[in-house]
Amino acid sequence: MTNPDTGRRIAIIGGGLSGLAAAHRLIELSAKQSSRVEITLFEAGPRLGGIIGTQQIGDYLVDTGADSFLTNKPGAIGLCRRLGLENRLIATDSRYRGVHVLFDGRPVPVPEGFQLLSPSAIWPILTTPILSPWGKLRMLMEYFVPPGDVADESLADFVRRRFGRETLDRLVQPLIGGIYTSDPEKLSLAATMPRFLDMEREYGSLIRASRNEKNTKRAIASDTTSGGARYGLFAGLAGGMEELLAALRQRVEAGCTVRPGVRIQSLSKLDTSAGYGVVLADGTQELFDAIVVATTAHQAARLLGELDPALSSELDQIEYASSAIVVTAHKLANVRHPLNSFGLVVPHRERRRILATSFSSRKFPKRAPADSVLMRTFVGGAMQPELNDYEDASLKRIVRDELSDIFGIQGPPQFELVVRYPRAMPQYHVGHLDRVHRIESLTATHRGLALAGNAFRGVGIPDSIVSGEAAAETVFDAQTPFANVC
């Protein structure tokens, strides 16, 4: 199957961010080592990039997927630099850093220094109206709670054990829900936020650890070589996340054969060589030396059902949640609330029909005209799955009513846009890392096969990039010559 003229043939199935990152990394590796590699990228949909994208709607710049990424993980910053995009990276607006949480129907600032699960400052906790006197005392008692001895527990169990129920219900659940759209009673802490387990083990207390880490953060803030220090915890791109996709697509299309609109039916192992057969939807088969599967876990399970039923079964047990974003634009004169943060998260206990709202034009400049605001409101997720079945008109009406009640927004929005993400967010339930270990062990038995995507070891943009690049390196390093059957 290896072509003597073009060298090894590698297929990438899935043209989302992980698939593009894998293709780009293969191009880099083949150029660096002067290796002859023929790369083919298959994408079932009409465009590359998956759920990431940016639209220009009048004077508004709208990211329809993620609008920023963490800078303390090197994957995204590093790729932007290699693509020549470093001068396009922008920091979040320091004037509005922070977030509100809905408490008894009104937006209240999250206590300064509260880091998802743990406070790094005591006074903001003592003065916040979000917690009752008992809730505050219970949180501060965390200093004396002994470490647990469970390898993996749900985020809800961990927070209740260390900080009490109020902290979970009023602060942690909405903050985490805004990231994972998940039920904290099922979410694995070890798979999503292992650093908090590490803090507990090393210091015995998250409060003690957070206060100790303040000195470390001061040192990092003075380090101008650090991406996190230069841009803050989050960074975006001046022209939206589509800039990253456009640069990736340009590199990939120059160095690969890109085939959009081509659906893959299944994968098979060839009896006559170490390679693989890729069966297309029309029943034809194409042969490759190696394959990167960069799809959702349930799509990968379907593709690998014939090749490895056990691997397919493990992949199929990773659950997903659906959600939608309703994008709205408003004149500031019609908004009673000052919107003086990056957004609002909504606790499940408030019994609202939205998960969170991001004030996009507060986070980044030039997202909206100076007299207007751009908002992205999240609906659905694992805890309100029924809302995913609502029609667009119903979702728009729900968001309009909720924003009016919470922020005092009057009159119709300048525009409304519904963006849906069916089965797009993997749910890292308790036991997820054990399942991922089994998946990786089973995959390793197939030389030249690698999996990539956000279903395994991280859902963010940096994680997806690193996953794709690691998969590319795995199949590229499988350099033992394949039988030439082409």
pLDDT number for residue 272: 59
Q: What percent of the chain has pLDDT over 90?
A: 83
Over pLDDT 70: what percentage of the chain? 93
303 — pLDDT class (breaks 50, 70, 90): very high
Average pLDDT over residues 434-448: 97
Contact (Cβ atoms closer than 8 angstroms) between residue 424 and residue 320: yes
Bigger pLDDT: 9 vs 270 = 9
Task: Map out the domains of the chain as residue ranges.
Answer: 8-50+241-318+429-477, 109-224, 320-426
What is the pLDDT averaged over residues 85-99? 94
**What is the predicted pLDDT for the residue at 314?**
98
pLDDT at 1: 60
Most confident of 4-8, 222-226, 324-328: 324-328
- For residue 481, the model assigns a pLDDT of 44
Give the architecture-level CATH label for domain 8-50+241-318+429-477.
3-Layer(bba) Sandwich (3.50)
CATH 1.10.3110.10 assigned to domain 109-224? The reply is yes
Mean pLDDT of 342-353: 96
* Mean pLDDT computed over every residue of the chain: 91
Domain 320-426: state its class.
alpha beta
Predicted TM-score of the model (pTM): 0.93
Tokens encoding 183: 């039920």
Which pLDDT band holds residue 216 (cuts at 50, 70, 90)? Answer: very low
